[in-house]
Structure 1
Amino acid sequence: MPGEADVPKTLETLEAERAHLGKAREALRGMREHAESLSADAAGDWVSRQVLESLLDQRVRALADHPDTPLFFGRLDHRSDLGAELPETVHVGRRHVHDEEGLALVLDWRAPVSRAFYRAGPRDPMGVARRRRFGFDRGELTGFEDEPLDGRELGPSRLLTEEIERPRTGPMRDIVATIQPEQDVIVRAELSETVCVQGAPGTGKTAVGLHRAAYLLFAHRERLSRAGVLIVGPNRAFLSYIASVLPALGEVRVDQATVDDLLGIPTGTEALSVAALKGDVRLAEVLRKALWMHLRKPETGLLFVKGGSRYRIPDHEIRELVSSLRGTTRYGAGRHTLTQRLAHRVLVQMEQRGEAPDDRVHDAVARSKAVKAVVEQVWPKVTPQQILHRLFSDAEFLAQAARGLLDEEEQELLRWRRAPRSARSAKWTPADLALLDELADLVERTGSLGHLVVDEAQDLSPMQLRALGRRCATGSATVLGDLAQGTTPWAARTWREVLVHLGQEGEVTELTLGFRVPREVLDYAARLLPSVAPELAAPRSLRGGPGTLSVRKVRDVHDAAVTALLELQARDGSLGVVVADDRLEELGKTLEANGVDHAVLTAEGVAGERVHLVPATLAKGLEYDHVVVAEPAEIVAAEEKGLARLYVVLTRAVTSLTVLHHEPLPVELG
């Protein structure tokens, strides 16, 4: 804290920084007005005009000034002995802002010179003499804190701590002002690198993944604008929660999707044991064999008639052609190639008879009924749905495709008890959709993105991971998750197997130091780790304090939840009460009867209300300032990996956790 003699100087500095903020906001408004004044009329045609208009609209949206979001959050003062190598003073913010003369008033946090804001320290000041952090309240600059980088060890930053601990309302915020050095290394990893982050609760792994996407779009704008960036999350509630982060950083062209959004909406359900088997990587080979089993030997040779001339290709030559193509190309491409090679054989015979056929003749032969009939007979056109329908409904066909891969008991699990009449009438499950995607890629190549961010990747099956891997086959990925939070029957045991199924090579980075979840809460939840993920190091938290954890044995859990929520509503921040899915409706009625206004979180998300009633299966990835967990034993008993689910639930709190139970707590909690 400054002494009395320093107060006038502090106020003078604060006013100067406020003036710079006002100037930057004015400049941003000028940049936006200039963007709005640009016209797409100069485009040469209608399509180009539509594209240009879309780009201009995106530019205007990216320059939006959000009043509650500060334009800059830090400043770097570089050492004067560096000469002209670095600017004397740099303000670091969420986006670049310049005045009419082109003078930079705020530098984008992703710019190379801004790296020092996150990584400079006493041992390596990176040319910085002083780092300044700013305090804001609803977009207004309220204070600052200077850190001289002159070799002295720095204590914890008060403003940094306050920003991390600031109560949360609404969707997830960006962490651009509080990125830590180990996080910044991940964020700024090269586009060519696939990065896998094992992150304990509260370590910011999701935010790091989103900020890496923003950084890559800044550093490789042109390439990724063409190739695309996609964020994949576990459900739409999660995607809704993180949806504001990238737009706040000026990135409005990034798509978000669940696996179901990519693969199709499931219409059927099945037992977990069946879904687990369908997610097994062995099914990839079963599907490959099933597809190529559709090739047949030619019944006759090819006879092409043109006028009075006849051209024959004997069946043994057709067999040789099919054999040379089988398995060396995708099924659809092989079918097309066979058509072209049969037409070429006919043209060779024409030339041998003294004719001079051209490309038009070649195309006519390829489109002829004679060639089409032969191709359809030996290399029939099939759809993924037809193949999977046959595989699950034809026991003999399944046995052939699964020979040496699946035993009889596993084949019996896959077979439909009552097969639908056709592929069109089949009700496909989520696991089926991953298999259909695998087949679709075997028929025609799946398009690849420039970069893919996959969150909660530990919960995806090998076949789902293969489907995602195809979508970044020529790009890279950021893989995020926590093995301890794996709650599906097919959850990954190691990150290496996840990367193998994705078809990516990359380094695994472990984040164990938490910034959001209080120490007492994290230590309490970590009692489950020896049972859930014994190979993982116990997470640590920088934050602690009395009153962050309360474990209460009560007579009636639902009545106690009402009391706890009424007490917590007097405190700042968001509130979530988490309960086993099958008790959701009952607890909701109790809250309503006692006048506790709340909204129920669904797979589609939730809007409004400060208190959210959360089913345990949708809690993953979310954060609330205050969390009430109702009856942990019921959450554990609800599913096979109930202890992992409880670990997820207990680590959603960033200020306080209240555990209410009438039944005995799981013994693993001690």
Structure 2
Amino acid sequence: MSKERSIREEEERRLSEALGVIERRLLKELSVLGERRGDVVGIRQEFWDDVTVNFSDATELGETWSSIVQQAELLAERERSHKVASTAASRLALQRDNPYFARIDFAEAGEGQADRIYIGRSTLVGDDGETFYVYDWRAPVSSLFYDHEPGPASYETPSGTIEGDLTLKRQFVIRGGVLKHVFDTEETIGDDILQAVLSERSDTSMKSIVATIQKEQNRIIRDEKHKLLVVQGAAGSGKTSAALQRIAYLLYRYRDTLTSEQIVLFSPNPVFKGYVSRVLPDLGEANMRQMTFRELIESRLGRRYEVEDLFSQTEALAAAEGTPDGEARERAARYKGSEHFFETVNRYLKRLEREGVRFRPLRFRKDTIVSAEETAERFYGVLGGENFGDRLVKTRRWLNERLDAWVESQLKEPWVEEAAELSDQEDIQRAYVELRREGGYREESFDDEDRISGLLLKRAAENAIAPLRKAVKGFRFMDPLATYGELFRSRTLFTACAPDGRLPLGYEWMAQRAEETLGRKTIDHEDATPLLYVMEALEGFRKVDGEVRHLFVDEAQDYSPFQAAFLRKRFPRARLTVLGDFNQAIYAQAEESGGFGGWTRLVPPEETEVWRLSTSYRSTEPIVRFSKRILKPEDAAGIAPFHRDGEPPRVAECGDGAELADRIAKDAAELLEAGYATIGIIAKTARECGNASAVIKERLADDVPVTLVTGGSANLPKGVSILPSYLSKGIEFDAVLVWDASGSRYGREQDRKLLYTVCTRALHVLRVYSLGVRSPFLPSGYEGDEE
């Protein structure tokens, strides 16, 4: 018998044994799950049958309450038990498909016998509770697989370094519980495994990479020392995958003190959110909180103002391309994202502690209850010697007292009496209950009806001013919009706050624009973060964000230095992991100078670690080499393709729009027929996508799924997706067809990185079409087959 055959039979026996344990455990959990489900349904159906209800006196009321609490606690316990069994069954079902992906044999120093260690997504212990069939990939010993070749090796544990000898390193491909491939390797991760995984067709969601984590990715995943981790990586180098595995590792490593709610991931767009949503559940962990920067802005500003998002700004700048207004706005967007402007706003906020906050009057109909001038006098005059936070709280209390006095003064006014007369039976019943609670409504009392009437009058007045009470409670007696706008109304104020005492280039245009937009309560995207910063500083940052322990920011190159600094202020306790590629910096607000200076200046150098991932694993080698040539040579120098062959990209110039649509529709149909599951047709803007969607649907069969992906889309479907360039960030497709990469669409220097980003979305096939002369950034020698 050959050695290979002997190894395979040995591993098949071991796999069968592990699958037997999984099957027994799964049947047990499913049995428990069925019992608990029945218990929960039964308790819910019979809840009130098992509760003794009696409200006749205080004693009976107490017994009734105890009975309700007892039943509720029983239900909660059964629901918890059901959830635990459900989670265990889901994990075991995943293990049944693919219990493990690697084996290492490790002999600890001083020990003669090497231990066989099988590594998978999660731990599997035998029926005896002691035999480890599978070690979780995040366990300390599992790092040997990622970091070492056979020979002397060591790994870190909480109690110290364990040294020894790695005698075997073996990898498996297991699908559906069947052993497909076995590889012995002397490399950290064998190329055979990588080739097998990377050659698979794309899916509509990102996959776990635990079987193919590279050595440098493993160090990123397991870093526990630094407060800031910066990962600069080429397109397709595994930045996001490593970040998601890092989240899973942290939840495993600190499972007693860290929850998924204390981890926040900022995604570039809603499509990407849906795309990565399955990675952590597939690893047996709950998803972290995930949001876009747009959602953060909307949650605080969206109810008060009409706020432009980044994609709308991008479309507006594209529409105004080459005009004086377009150039002026692009300059303003860059400046308002700069560290200079952040420091200017910081100095302005310090100044607001002494003077300058704009206040809103409290008005009811035509009456001014408290004027803005009175509130300012109270805040800066009477309370001027106290700190800002105490002044806010005491001003809020004083405003509520003024509202109390106003309510009392209105009780005999006709409008209050009219409102009270409209009280329904429920309002009257509530007044009666309130009066009884206060000791009123006794049979011998003669004024109870008057007291109920008084309560109804007061409630009518309070209901009328409820919005004012709510505004006061939320510190909205301040006007952050007017306060922020002052920076652009007063040249003197701006220069006094600027760190260099100078106005920025284009200040006059910014001032005029601010007067137009802020005056009608519409907020340009470049003003949204500075305005939110002013609002948060005035009203107080949310407490819940102070409890976040880890903050992950994907596509960090698209965040301005101002936004980076703002996030640091908003999540003050969080350790930061930021991921990006400055070759994909496609927005006006992105830092022009390159690098991650906006992030690295947030944390001391000794607490910062910068990693660079240069190998691109996503695309085939021909696609990577093609995409590199779009960039400037100095930007492309650090990008290395993984050796995976594929068809060369094609570039074709089309004579008119009909030919462009015909060729792309024909390619899409042929690629779907060839088995490619996801086809991305990527145009520069949303407007172009709308046109492309209409003409492509006309040319494809009715049963071909064609989806127009918009900024509000949350899921990436199979079939043909048509999307604008800026929504493709972080996504990958089996095949990418670039819609109109002509010189008129991608001709400016700032379009170079955008075109690079679009082309690097392709896993296996890339075809680029232009309407007329192609972009000057596209490399030559890739002409498609002309018909």
Q: TM-score, normalising length from structure 1? A: 0.78
Question: Secondary structure at 2:521's aligned position in 1?
Answer: coil
Give the equivalent residue in structure 2 for 1:497.
598
CA distance, structure 1, for counterparts of residue 708 and residue 744 of structure 2 = 17
CA distance, structure 2, for counterparts of residue 123 and residue 635 of structure 1 = 58
Query: Alpha-carbon deviation of 1:457?
Result: 0.7
Most deviating of 652-661 and 401-410: 401-410
Say which of 330, 333, 336 aligns to 1:278. 336
Query: Alpha-carbon deviation of 1:195?
Result: 0.8
CA distance, structure 1, for counterparts of residue 174 and residue 138 of structure 2 = 21
CA distance, structure 1, for counterparts of residue 97 and residue 393 of structure 2 = 56
Query: Alpha-carbon deviation of 1:543?
Result: 2.4
Say which of 197, 205, 208 aligns to 1:174. 208
Question: Secondary structure at 1:223's aligned position in 2?
Answer: coil
Give the equivalent residue in structure 1 for 2:137.
109
Give the equivalent residue in structure 2 for 1:146.
184
* Paired residues of 2:32 and 2:85 also in contact (CA < 8 A): no
CA distance, structure 1, for counterparts of residue 621 and residue 72 of structure 2 = 59
Question: Secondary structure at 1:79's aligned position in 2?
Answer: strand
Say which of 699, 702, 716 aligns to 1:594. 699
Give the equivalent residue in structure 1 for 2:726.
617
Is residue 559 from structure 1 mapped to residue 598 from structure 2 by the alignment?
Answer: no
Question: Secondary structure at 1:195's aligned position in 2?
Answer: strand
Give the equivalent residue in structure 2 for 1:413.
510
* Paired residues of 2:121 and 2:136 also in contact (CA < 8 A): yes
* Paired residues of 1:625 and 1:653 also in contact (CA < 8 A): yes
* Paired residues of 2:172 and 2:181 also in contact (CA < 8 A): yes
Q: What do residues 134-166 of structure 1 show as CA deviations (whole Å, max 9, x unaligned)? A: 11334533232233x6xxx79944233202322
Query: Alpha-carbon deviation of 1:37?
Result: 6.9
Is residue 631 from structure 1 mapped to residue 740 from structure 2 by the alignment?
Answer: yes
CA distance, structure 2, for counterparts of residue 5 and residue 252 of structure 1 = 42
Q: 1:594 to 1:190 in 2, by over 3 A?
A: same
Which amino acid counterpart does residue 5 of structure 2 have in structure 1?
Answer: V
Q: What do residues 158-216 of structure 1 show as CA deviations (whole Å, max 9, x unaligned)? A: 23320232211221111111001111011000065321000101110010111111111
Give the equivalent residue in structure 2 for 1:538.
638
CA distance, structure 2, for counterparts of residue 616 and residue 464 of structure 1 = 22
Q: 1:528 to 1:419 in 2, by over 3 A?
A: closer
* Paired residues of 2:261 and 2:289 also in contact (CA < 8 A): no
Most deviating of 174-183 and 655-664: 655-664
Give the equivalent residue in structure 1 for 2:450.
none
Give the equivalent residue in structure 2 for 1:243.
277
Query: Alpha-carbon deviation of 1:554?
Result: 3.9
User: Any residues of structure 2 matched to 1:60-99 within 5 Å, and which?
Assistant: 60-61=86-87, 63-64=89-90, 65-66=93-94, 69-79=97-107, 83=111, 88-99=115-126
CA distance, structure 2, for counterparts of residue 337 and residue 608 of structure 1 = 54
* Paired residues of 2:260 and 2:289 also in contact (CA < 8 A): no
* Paired residues of 1:192 and 1:475 also in contact (CA < 8 A): no
Q: TM-score, normalising length from structure 2? A: 0.67
Which amino acid counterpart does residue 519 of structure 1 have in structure 2?
Answer: E
Say which of 583, 586, 589 aligns to 1:487. 586
Give the equivalent residue in structure 2 for 1:608.
717
CA distance, structure 2, for counterparts of residue 320 and residue 49 of structure 1 = 57
* Paired residues of 1:288 and 1:439 also in contact (CA < 8 A): yes
CA distance, structure 1, for counterparts of residue 771 and residue 589 of structure 2 = 32
Question: Secondary structure at 1:182's aligned position in 2?
Answer: helix
* Paired residues of 2:102 and 2:170 also in contact (CA < 8 A): yes
Give the equivalent residue in structure 2 for 1:313.
none
Say which of 746, 767, 773 aligns to 1:664. 773
User: Any residues of structure 2 matched to 1:19-418 within 5 Å, and which?
Assistant: 19-28=17-26, 30=28, 57=83, 60-61=86-87, 63-64=89-90, 65-66=93-94, 69-79=97-107, 83=111, 88-103=115-130, 104-122=132-150, 124-126=152-154, 127-138=165-176, 140-147=178-185, 156-190=190-224, 192-225=226-259, 228-264=262-298, 266=302, 267-269=306-308, 271-281=329-339, 282-283=341-342, 284-285=345-346, 287-289=348-350, 291-294=352-355, 325=386, 331-336=388-393, 383=476, 386-392=479-485, 396=489, 399-405=492-498, 407=503, 409-410=506-507, 412-415=509-512, 416-418=514-516
Give the equivalent residue in structure 2 for 1:575.
679
Q: 1:288 to 1:25 in 2, by over 3 A?
A: farther
Give the equivalent residue in structure 1 for 2:567.
468
Q: How many residues align?
A: 597
User: Any residues of structure 2 matched to 1:5-16 within 5 Å, and which?
Assistant: 6-7=4-5, 10-11=8-9, 13-16=11-14
* Paired residues of 1:616 and 1:635 also in contact (CA < 8 A): no
CA distance, structure 1, for counterparts of residue 348 and residue 35 of structure 2 = 55
* Paired residues of 1:579 and 1:635 also in contact (CA < 8 A): no
Give the equivalent residue in structure 2 for 1:301.
none
CA distance, structure 2, for counterparts of residue 274 and residue 52 of structure 1 = 58
CA distance, structure 1, for counterparts of residue 556 and residue 229 of structure 2 = 12
CA distance, structure 2, for counterparts of residue 46 and residue 324 of structure 1 = 52
Which amino acid counterpart does residue 601 of structure 1 have in structure 2?
Answer: V
Say which of 602, 621, 624 aligns to 1:522. 624
CA distance, structure 2, for counterparts of residue 418 and residue 47 of structure 1 = 58
CA distance, structure 2, for counterparts of residue 583 and residue 631 of structure 1 = 9
* Paired residues of 1:197 and 1:480 also in contact (CA < 8 A): yes
Say which of 577, 594, 597 aligns to 1:478. 577
* Paired residues of 2:230 and 2:579 also in contact (CA < 8 A): yes
Say which of 553, 564, 567 aligns to 1:454. 553
* Paired residues of 1:552 and 1:660 also in contact (CA < 8 A): yes
* Paired residues of 1:264 and 1:433 also in contact (CA < 8 A): no
Question: Secondary structure at 2:243's aligned position in 1?
Answer: helix
* Paired residues of 1:529 and 1:538 also in contact (CA < 8 A): no
CA distance, structure 2, for counterparts of residue 544 and residue 521 of structure 1 = 10
CA distance, structure 1, for counterparts of residue 666 and residue 489 of structure 2 = 62
Which amino acid counterpart does residue 539 of structure 1 have in structure 2?
Answer: I
Give the equivalent residue in structure 1 for 2:454.
none
Q: Which structure has the greater CA radius of gyration?
A: 2
Question: Secondary structure at 1:221's aligned position in 2?
Answer: coil
Query: Alpha-carbon deviation of 1:91?
Result: 1.8
Query: Alpha-carbon deviation of 1:273?
Result: 4.2
CA distance, structure 1, for counterparts of residue 629 and residue 217 of structure 2 = 26
CA distance, structure 2, for counterparts of residue 470 and residue 580 of structure 1 = 34
| Structure 2: runs of 5 or more not aligned | 44-68, 155-164, 314-328, 358-378, 398-472, 780-787
Q: What do residues 466-488 of structure 1 show as CA deviations (whole Å, max 9, x unaligned)? A: 23213432120110000110011
Query: Alpha-carbon deviation of 1:595?
Result: 1.9
Which amino acid counterpart does residue 183 of structure 2 have in structure 1?
Answer: E
Query: Alpha-carbon deviation of 1:648?
Result: 0.3
After superposition, the CA RMSD in angstroms is: 3.9
Give the equivalent residue in structure 2 for 1:308.
none
Q: 1:85 to 1:668 in 2, by over 3 A?
A: same
Q: 1:323 to 1:468 in 2, by over 3 A?
A: same
Which amino acid counterpart does residue 285 of structure 1 have in structure 2?
Answer: N
CA distance, structure 2, for counterparts of residue 618 and residue 602 of structure 1 = 8
Question: Secondary structure at 1:669's aligned position in 2?
Answer: coil
Question: Secondary structure at 1:388's aligned position in 2?
Answer: helix
CA distance, structure 2, for counterparts of residue 480 and residue 70 of structure 1 = 30
* Paired residues of 2:123 and 2:136 also in contact (CA < 8 A): yes
**Higher helix proportion:** 2
Give the equivalent residue in structure 2 for 1:368.
none
Give the equivalent residue in structure 1 for 2:468.
none
Which amino acid counterpart does residue 576 of structure 1 have in structure 2?
Answer: G
Q: 1:252 to 1:549 in 2, by over 3 A?
A: same
CA distance, structure 2, for counterparts of residue 50 and residue 539 of structure 1 = 54
| Structure 1: runs of 5 or more not aligned | 297-317, 341-379
Q: 1:571 to 1:69 in 2, by over 3 A?
A: farther
Question: Secondary structure at 1:102's aligned position in 2?
Answer: coil
Q: Percent identity?
A: 22
